[in-house]
């Protein structure tokens, strides 16, 4: 999938069922999310992340933070309670519009549309903290790897980057999982067919942990911690990284 197609896909999702597209609880599909409940999940997640940062004894300056793939601002709004300046960036105009609608921290929180495969809208060494969760997994690896490099460019020396990416799909016991092992059809074909049939699709992509660690090592980063956990059909990894 090209980046422009990815943007169109998420723009449509942002118009059709935005909260479910961001937090895909099967019970919340077709407008099932209560707005307050939806944003409370972001408050809890960021509170947990800030507690995690304290637990691993990392001191970060709470000046500027980036929420990459902000969607409707679920995490951005929560981050605004901890940082002086918060920026949420997303590829989807409809998501950015929704984020602005629900922005209750206009004094220190703004949203930016970015449809490019880089983050040139930000200067080098700009953010003290960058956070991205359940976002890069929806982006083809050739783009997500470039975004990770960009994170390290715009992060201040000594700044902290936390991002999540699945490393592999778990074997699974369903008929669909069994068929996938017997006939390993490329993801690109599967998603192309789904887009033609359903119009929109939430893609899932993996990058092996060793490849991410090599990428970080080669781009001026120090890996502080990696948390592995099972999430649905995937082994997911949360990387905690500092810039040299």
Q: Which residue has the higher pLDDT, 242 or 182?
A: 242
DSSP state of 18: H
Give Dmax (Cα) for the chain. 54
b/e per residue, 61-88, with b = 16+ CB within 10 A? eeebbbbbbbbbbbbbbbbbebbebbbb
For helices 209-217 and 141-154, what crossing angle results, to 10°?
A: 30
CB contact at 8 A, 18 and 96: no
3 state DSSP class of 29: coil
Cβ of 137: how many Cβ atoms within 10 Å?
22
pLDDT, averaged across the chain: 92
Using alpha carbons, select from 35, 117, 113, 115 the residue that is nearest to residue 77: 35
Q: Can you tell me the distance from the alpha carbon of 194 to that of 180, in angstroms, rounded to the nearest whole number?
A: 15
3 state DSSP class of 209: helix
Note the pLDDT tens digit of each residue in 83-141. Answer: 999 999 999 999 999 999 999 999 999 999 999 999 999 999 999 999 999 999 999 99
Q: Say yes or no to pLDDT of 15 above 80.
A: yes
Residue with tokens 């409809």: 94
Q: Determine the pLDDT at residue 202.
A: 87
Phi, psi of 30 (to 5 degrees): 60, 50
Does the reported pTM lie above 0.85? yes
Using alpha carbons, select from 124, 131, 136 the residue that is nearest to residue 220: 124
Lowest mean per-residue pLDDT among 2-6, 87-91, 139-143, 186-190: 186-190
The CATH number given to 3-169+206-243 is 3.40.50.150
DSSP state of 28: G
CB contact at 8 A, 109 and 137: no
CB contact at 8 A, 66 and 131: yes
- When pLDDT is averaged across residues 162-186 and rounded to a whole number, the result is 72
Using alpha carbons, select from 166, 145, 14 the residue that is nearest to residue 91: 14
């Amino acid at each position: 999938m090209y980046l422009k197609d990815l943007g169109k896909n998420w723009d449509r999702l942002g118009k059709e069922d935005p909260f479910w597209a961001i937090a895909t609880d099967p019970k919340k599909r077709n407008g099932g999310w209560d707005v307050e409940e939806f944003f409370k999940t972001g408050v809890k997640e960021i509170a947990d992340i800030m507690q995690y940062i304290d637990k691993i004894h990392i001191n970060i300056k709470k000046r500027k933070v980036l929420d990459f793939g902000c969607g409707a601002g679920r995490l951005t709004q929560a981050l605004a309670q901890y940082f002086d300046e918060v920026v949420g960036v997303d590829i989807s105009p409809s998501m950015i519009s929704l984020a602005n609608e629900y922005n209750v921290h206009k004094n220190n929180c703004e949203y930016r549309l970015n449809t490019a495969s880089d983050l040139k809208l930000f200067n080098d060494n700009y953010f003290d903290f960058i956070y991205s969760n359940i976002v890069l997994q929806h982006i083809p690896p050739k783009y997500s790897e470039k975004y990770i490099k960009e994170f390290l460019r715009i992060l201040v020396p000594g700044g902290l980057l936390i991002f999540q990416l699945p490393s592999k799909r778990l074997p699974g016991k369903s008929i669909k999982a069994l068929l996938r092992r017997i006939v390993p059809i490329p993801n690109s074909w599967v998603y192309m067919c789904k887009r033609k049939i359903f119009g929109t699709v939430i893609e899932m992509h993996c990058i092996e942990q060793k490849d991410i660690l090599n990428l970080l090592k080669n781009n001026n980063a120090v890996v502080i911690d990696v948390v592995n956990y099972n999430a649905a059909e995937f082994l997911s990894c949360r990387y905690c990284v500092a810039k040299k």
